[in-house]
Chain A
Amino acid sequence: MELHGIGIGQGVAIGPVVRMSDPLPEPPEARSGLTPEQEGERARVALAAVAADLTARGARAGGSAQDVLEAQAMMAEDPTLVDDVTVRLADGKTAERATFEAFAAFRDLLVEMGGYMAERAADLDDVSQRVVAELGGLPAPGVPDPDHPFILVARDLAPADTALLDLDKVLGLITSDGGPTSHTAILAREKSIVAIVGVTDAAGLSDGDTVILDAANSLVNSDPDAGALTAAEARIAERAARADAPIGPGALADGTAVPLLANLGNADGAARAVELGAEGVGLFRTEFLFLGSSSAPTVMQQQEQYTRMLREFAGKKVVVRALDAGADKPLAFLNDADEENPALGLRGLRALRANEDLLREQLTALANADATTDAEVWVMAPMVATVEETEYFVSLAHELGLKTAGVMVEVPSLALLADRVLAHADFASIGTNDLTQYTLAADRMLGSVAGFQDPWHPAVLKLVGEVGAAGAALGKPVGICGEAAADPLLAVVLVGLGATSLSMSASALADVRASLSRFTLEQARLLAQAALAADGAASARTAVTDAAANLTVPA
């Protein structure tokens, strides 16, 4: 039987199911034999113990898990919750019942709110279970720890569970609840664990069942036959070989070079990106230098940070994006006025141009850092809409000593006039996330229109093709630096449309490298044509998947 969910990543896993233990029973409503004060003391001790335990787990886990565990610890000692418990105790309830009810009340509130908040309900349930267990002297509910590798099946995993999960034994994760932003999904992405979340029928899986998890296709096969198992094993072996394969530069099957670059937000991720074979940086975001400060950092401060980053990439290309403020990342000193439509407002280059001193300082700091290091520095402006803006930015960057200056193509107007844009710019880099948002007129921050945010849409691909064609005609590089480049099959289509380099999060490099090596440039162009001929995003994906299956790598 096939169970459907939302696959995280591209992996496949086979293994025996181990179910997470069921939650503790609801504490009975019987009246307490103790006084409210005595019960209050029991509740206080238990809440403090659970908070201390969660904080300690956080310290051991580190990273993003620590934040979540600390947030849970704060929930256990929340003043509003304690007030609520006290009121319930005054009615003669036990500490178990009173804390259970108080947590449940907040939980229901979160579930009612839906979306992201509803997914946080699991955090609260977990704290509630831990407190009830603590009061009863029972072991805290947690992940099973069998002596063999297993596929963990759970309702949803709380951060306290996932933080201390023995990852060497976990072959994969299946959850019945939880969406793509749940902790299970975040953990799976961070640690590259094969996972499928939101598998509503997962309740039917029993301990010991052998299942196939196919995250790439968002499927769980709950009773695989010998053929399915052999096919899945082959895919696992193929993927392992790919990860272990010697890391070479990105290239198509016919040898056409397609440099694979990393997207980075600060210098910390640089070493890992190089390890995974990044041939440079295709998008270095500079917002981290500015966020959280009420004024811009000085030229010296910026120069220090840029130098640190550029040292990691000696002899390699680093494309730095000028400060991209506005819309999803407002900065106090740049975006002071309220806007009705911030995505269409004073953001990106528009905001920089309105604060030209800031732009000059950033470009100066970058040029200084460039002069003292061996990386090949390119600079580009975000949210450019016109040829005139292109000329403005490119000539300012050149004037301040940066040799290679280009623009990000995120606004359809720029893609449509790509030949005129690239007559001025040294290169173009396509930001597929914003290009999709603006082409489909769908706010990428808004869950209700999230369905439009799909870079496979032929209208988006057509615009990419315009830029690719202009780049080829003028001999100017055209990079891709959005999520689209991390999709192994779409990456091939983008190259077929004229992209000359691809930039993505470092964890996606291996899969994209392997995918590119399966197709020649001519085949990539055929796949691009198949995508362009489709009516919509879903049919473009299907058409290319089918066409790719019929192509074989030339001997």
Chain B
Amino acid sequence: MAERTVRIGSAHGLHARPAKLFTQAAAGSGASVTISKAGGKAVNAASILGVISLGINHGDEVTLAVDGDNADVVLEELSELLLTDHDE
């Protein structure tokens, strides 16, 4: 299991479009991925409703946990997505 904590780069946080890009990538990775805010519950990162319902804002720190083959590669790709500002 690989884990990393990153800060959200998108100016409006992880809502519609960035959330879509992220969950698509998580679902497409083939690995089991969860995302959580500090001290909050972890949700399935392939669930757009789960991700949106965390109410993740710009600058928030979130923790990704990846289980499966290539966990490190998947973690790297997903972290990069979260760091990027998709709103500009």
Binary A-proximity of B36-68 (CB < 8 A = 1, otherwise 0) = 000000011011111011010011000000000
Interface-forming stretch among A7-15, A250-258, A325-333, A529-537? Answer: A325-333
CB distance from B3 to the nearest CB of A (A): 18
* Contact across chains for A78 and B47 when beta carbons are under 8 A apart: yes
Q: What residues of chain A lie closer than 8 Å to B52, measured between beta carbons? A: 110, 117, 120
* Contact across chains for B84 and A79 when beta carbons are under 8 A apart: no
How many residue pairs link A and B with beta carbons under 8 A? The number is 77
Give A295 to B20 CA distance when docked, in angstroms.
Answer: 24
CB distance from B42 to the nearest CB of A (A): 12
* Contact across chains for B48 and A74 when beta carbons are under 8 A apart: yes
The chain B residue with its CB closest to the CB of A64 is B17
Which one, A68, A109, A120, A291, contacts B85 given CB within 8 A?
A: A291
Binary B-proximity of A99-124 (CB < 8 A = 1, otherwise 0) = 00000001001100100110010011
Q: Which of A323-344 contact B (CB under 8 A)?
A: 328-330, 332, 338, 342
B23 in the interface, Cβ–Cβ < 8 Å? yes
Q: What residues of chain A lie closer than 8 Å to B9, measured between beta carbons? A: 329-330
The bracket for how many chain B residues form the interface is 20 to 34
A34 in the interface, Cβ–Cβ < 8 Å? no
Q: What residues of chain B lie closer than 8 Å to A74, measured between beta carbons? A: 20, 23-24, 48
CB distance from B37 to the nearest CB of A (A): 13
Q: What residues of chain A lie closer than 8 Å to B73, measured between beta carbons? A: none
* Contact across chains for B47 and A106 when beta carbons are under 8 A apart: no
B19 in the interface, Cβ–Cβ < 8 Å? yes
Question: Which residues of A line the B interface, CB within 8 A?
Answer: 64, 67-68, 70-71, 74-75, 78-81, 106, 109-110, 113, 116-117, 120, 123-124, 265, 287-288, 291-292, 294, 328-330, 332, 338, 342, 445
Given A71-B48, A117-B55, A329-B9: 4 more A-B contacts, CB < 8 Å: A74-B48, A80-B44, A106-B53, A332-B80
Question: Which residues of B line the A interface, CB within 8 A?
Answer: 7, 9, 11-13, 15-17, 19-20, 23-24, 43-44, 46-50, 52-53, 55, 58-59, 80, 83-85, 88
